[in-house]
Amino acid sequence: MNIHYHLSDYISHRVAGEAYIACLRRLGHTVVDDPAKSDLVIIHEGAHDYAAITKDMPRAPGRKFVGYAVWETPQLPLPFIEGVKRVDAVWTCSEFSRQAFLPYAKTFLLPHVVDRAKVSRADIEWAMHRLGIAEKTREARDIFYFYTIVDTVNPRKDITTMLTAFAAAFPRKEDKVRLVVKQYRMPQNLSAFPFVIDVPETLPPGRIAALHAVCDAYVSTHHAEAWGLPLSEALSFGNPVIATGYSGNMQFMTAENSFPVPFTVVPVPEAMCRALPDLFTPDMTWGNIDPASLVQTLRRVRATPVTREFRERAAASMKAFSPVALCDRLASLLASL
């Protein structure tokens, strides 16, 4: 087929969409710039933008429109409900997200591609220098490096709970731990937090991958995710992932390959509703990670050596989302159209 793929500029959408475009080409399809020359239009963007995006796109007989969209709470916002009326089907990354769309559109599961990035020696050397790591192997290190990649101004990511729990779990220099916080979008000042290594600068993909390669355990205290790309990327490197055991990340996280932390389902707070009033409303719900359980899990992961067997098991669990596996899934969805 000739396929027009409308790709969002939002970073997570773009990363995921570029992987799907590579799959389409691998399957022998042609990606075209002009939707008028396409058999299929895929719109990889928030569903609230579908009306504006499709307004001037020609609706020729036989041409299908698919929206690739994600959402982070069980309740779909009204602008998304209106938006999905503009497409013939919706594809989304997790069963959690699919259930939100399902009452309003034909919705199908297409997980994100998880393909462990190749890391250059130069990027590894940069990461070790940037984080102050002298030892070349994890086994030789005295200090344990937790890390996260997070939009610190987004209330949904809940960086405050992470920083508070980390300080409670490891209050002393003798604990020999660090928390590496790779910020993006609008970095905040984290200088008040001891043992936190702030990485606010913009990094190319190779250096992001180097953080996965040199750090020890990933942490996320999110309230809700449609998927959680940095979490699955961390698992592809065989790293332990400590995260809220709720929402789309449970598409790939299990008690065997990671450390899901207990949570409580609560209403979305006013701060999030004020931040994005068109999308988040007080009748929506998400998960609050349990702070005491998080502290215990942080200490447990620090105290227990991460074995080679665990790392191999974690990395192997991501093969279900390899480019080959997702090409097969994508081919099936295209055939069904």
Distance CA 58, CA 11 (A): 28
Helix (H, G, I), strand (E, B) or coil at 36: helix
**pLDDT tens readout for residues 50-88:** 999 999 999 999 999 999 999 999 999 999 999 999 999
Residue 111 CB contacts under 8 Å (≥ 6 apart), including other chains: 93, 94, 227, 251, 252, 320, 321, 326, 329
Q: How many Å from the N-terminal Cα to the C-terminal Cα in the chain?
A: 11
Look at residues 49, 137, 125, 44 and name the one whose alpha carbon lies nearest to residue 86: 49
**pLDDT tens readout for residues 264-283:** 999 999 989 998 999 999 99
**pLDDT tens readout for residues 146-195:** 999 999 999 999 999 999 999 999 999 999 999 999 999 899 999 999 99
Helix (H, G, I), strand (E, B) or coil at 253: coil
Average per-residue pLDDT for the chain: 96
Q: What mean pLDDT do residues 252-259 have?
A: 97
